[in-house]
Amino acid sequence: MDLRMPVMDGIEATRMIRADEQLTGTHVVVLTTFDDDADVVEAIRAGAIGYLLKNTPRDELRDAVRRAGQGERLLSPAITQRLMDMVAAGHAAPVPDPRLTYLSARELEVLTRIGHGDTNDEIAAVLHLSPATARTYVSRILAKLGARDRPELVVIAHKSGLVVS
């Protein structure tokens, strides 16, 4: 499953596959270029059994798909390394805010940019949106999360692990 697809993002597609009773034996492995922590967390929450980067060597990818087919959970070595480094450095694992499940994958991208301190214009530039669309996303996120203001969104993004300091 890729994360960025034209009609439906991979997170939502994974949720649909995992929710379909006729596909209960189906395992989803994300294969993407995006190694953002928020994407990893959301893919796993959606039911993905694995998360691999597209630069995974062909033989390792083939082996990983076989292992996932047998129900083994797996992460790309780069993501595993980042997690182990974080734990070794004594950083507490982020605790995703349960309200994040109300956000779409695109809204999570915007929230991550807010967590980095980006302005609406910067968010628009990075995510290839119009400034008006970026403002609309910020307003929707505030409403969906019941947050008072942008600084509260920054705190939510950091505490949930969307932004790694």
Same domain, 25 and 77: yes
For the question of whether the overall pTM of this predicted structure is more than 0.75, the answer is no
Which of 50-54, 94-98, 122-126 has the largest mean confidence?
A: 122-126
Same domain, 148 and 121: yes
DSSP secondary structure string, 3-24? S--SSS-HHHHHHHHHH-GGGT
User: Angle at the Cα of 34 (from 43 to 73), degrees rounded to 5?
Assistant: 40
For the chain, what is the radius of gyration of the CA atoms? 17
pLDDT digits 0-9 by tens, 101-142: 889 889 999 999 999 999 999 999 999 999 999 999 999 999
Same domain, 113 and 82: no
Query: What range defines the domain where residue 134 resides?
Result: 98-159
Q: Is residue 72 in a domain?
A: yes
Instruction: Give the helix ranges, DSSP H, for 98-160.
Output: 105-115, 120-127, 131-145, 150-159
Predicted local distance difference test score (pLDDT) of residue 128: 93
Structure tokens belonging to residue 56: 């995974």
The helix (H) or strand (E) run that includes residue 74 is strand 74-75
Q: Which of the listed residues 45, 62, 88 is the one where a domain comes to its end?
A: 88
